[in-house]
Amino acid sequence: MSSDIQESKKSKRSNTASLDDIYISEETRKRLLYRKEKEQKRKVLKHVRIDDKELEKEIDKGVTELPKKRFYRQRAHSNPFSDHQLEYPKSPRHMDWARFYPDFISKDSGTLPTDKRVEIADIGCGFGGLLVDLSPEFPETLILGMEIRVQVTNYVEDKIIALRAQHKGTGKYSNINVIRGNAMKFLPNFFEKSQLKKMFFCFPDPHFKQRKHKARIITNTLLSEYAYVLRVGGIIYTISDVLDLHEWMKSHLNEHPLFERLTELEEKEDKCVQIMTHSTEEGKKVERNKGSKFIACYRRIPDL
Ligand SMILES: C[S@@+](CC[C@H](N)C(=O)[O-])C[C@H]1O[C@@H](n2cnc3c(N)ncnc32)[C@H](O)[C@@H]1O
């Protein structure tokens, strides 16, 4: 059974049974209570304009507090080939994006304007540091993190709720959101052809062993999917502290007919490269450990 299913069974149990009825350590009890309280707030606040009047009471009840990472602990890896209980739309047209970016809903139509679509995706966004730092750089662009681990996704959702509440009335952080999903399986269900202008792959899981290489997030087949959802001129950003993985990503991107590498100068001058180098949680860990960071960015070129 996958850890995520176990995780969701556990959390269902914790929602229905009283925590007094089961034996758990004090630490687990604290974590489950914390998660339960956050989950209730998330249900109310996840898909609403955070500055709506009726929510002010909720906001007063501690919603502006940033979530504590230690309460969202989950195994480091989630198997991208397992049958997670994931929800995904039949096609991008079946996705209700307005619920993710309520501040952008047009008053006239009650939905998002047709030209307001997600244009930047952070694949395997982890704890969401990149989303938060990209947000003010592209205030009019909808940015989405996709993350396979359920508790990590919950953490990012709670962080975005808290940030929006802290800045209520300003619209800040209203352009970012996160979705739980497996980018290796369902990307074209979420995004139309040529919809994205940027895709980030920051410190992806290295899957060191040869027999696990097929689980890497950059492969020939997946690159063709990324080329499909990226517009011509759009950019794939990659960064890793693992040289072998960096070489792997470069060689697959070099071989793919629909991508060309940015020049050294272009990479150096791209503000997104600066941001992704320093903003993600994994990148910060690498900095603390004085590790190296290897970067490679590729442009989507026209079909042959
Ligand atoms: C090493 S972490 C890096 C997180 C973040 N990008 C950073 O730099 O801090 C890799 C993340 O990718 C997620 N992930 C792995 N495979 C995935 C997939 N197929 N779809 C979505 N997320 C995935 C993992 O759960 C994990 O959070």
**Would 42 be classed as within a structural domain?**
no
Q: Using N-to-C axis directions, what is the helix angle for 3-16 and 150-166, rounded to 10°? A: 60
3-state secondary structure 36-49: HHHHHHHHHHCCCC
pLDDT at 206: 95
| Rounded distance from Cα 19 to ligand 1 centre (Å) | 31
Q: How many domains does the chain have?
A: 1
Q: Is residue 178 within 6 Å of ligand 1 at its C-beta? A: no
Closest by CA to 132, choosing from 169, 178, 86, is: 178
Query: Does ligand 1 have an atom closer than 6 angstroms to the CB of 162?
Result: no
Tell me the C-alpha distance between 297 and 129, whole Å.
19
Question: Would you tell me how many other CB atoms lie within 10 Å of the CB of residue 214?
Answer: 12
| Ligand 1 centroid – CA 222 distance (Å) | 15
Domain assignment of residue 7, yes or no: no
Task: Check residue 12 and give its pLDDT.
Answer: 45
Ligand 1 probe mutation, 179, 203, 279, most atoms within 8 A of CB: 203
Range of the domain at 216: 86-300
Of 282, 287, 288, the residue with max ligand 1 atoms within 8 A of its CB, to mutate for a pocket test, comes to: 282
Q: List, as residue ranges, the binding site.
A: 124, 147-148, 182-183, 202, 280-282
Residue 233 belongs to a domain: yes
283 CA distance to ligand 1 centroid (A)? 12
Residue 3 lies in a domain: no
Output the pLDDT for position 83. 65
pLDDT by residue for the chain (304 residues), tens only, comes to 334 334 444 444 444 456 666 778 888 888 999 899 888 888 878 887 776 665 666 666 677 889 999 989 877 777 777 766 788 899 999 999 999 999 999 989 999 999 999 999 999 999 999 999 999 999 999 999 999 999 999 999 999 999 999 998 899 999 999 999 999 998 999 999 999 999 999 999 999 999 989 999 999 999 999 999 999 999 999 999 999 999 999 999 999 999 999 999 999 999 999 999 999 999 999 999 999 999 999 999 999 7
The reply to whether ligand 1 has any atom less than 6 angstroms from the CB of 146 is yes
- Nearest alpha carbon, ligand 1 atom 4: 126
Q: Tell whether ligand 1 has an atom less than 6 A from the beta carbon of residue 281.
A: yes
**Residue 138: inside a domain, yes or no?**
yes
Kindly list the catalytic residues. Answer: 205
Atom of ligand 1 nearest to the CA of 77: 25
Whether residue 131 has its Cβ less than 6 Å from ligand 1: no
Give residue 10's pLDDT.
47
Q: What is the tally of helices (H) and strands (E) in the chain?
A: 11, 7
Q: State whether the beta carbon of 204 lies less than 6 angstroms from ligand 1.
A: yes
- Specify the pLDDT at position 7: 42
Answer whether residue 113 is part of any domain: yes
Which atom of ligand 1 is closest in space to residue 201's alpha carbon? 6
Distance 230 CA to ligand 1 centre (A): 20
pTM for the predicted model, two decimal places? 0.89
Is residue 162 included in any domain, yes or no? yes
Can you spell out the DSSP letters for 84-128?
------SSGGG--GGGT-GGG--TTTSS--TT--EEEEEET-TT-
- Any idea what the CATH number is for the domain that residue 167 is in? 3.40.50.150
- CA 278 to ligand 1 center in whole angstroms: 17
Residue 16 lies in a domain: no
> What's the pLDDT at 20?
65
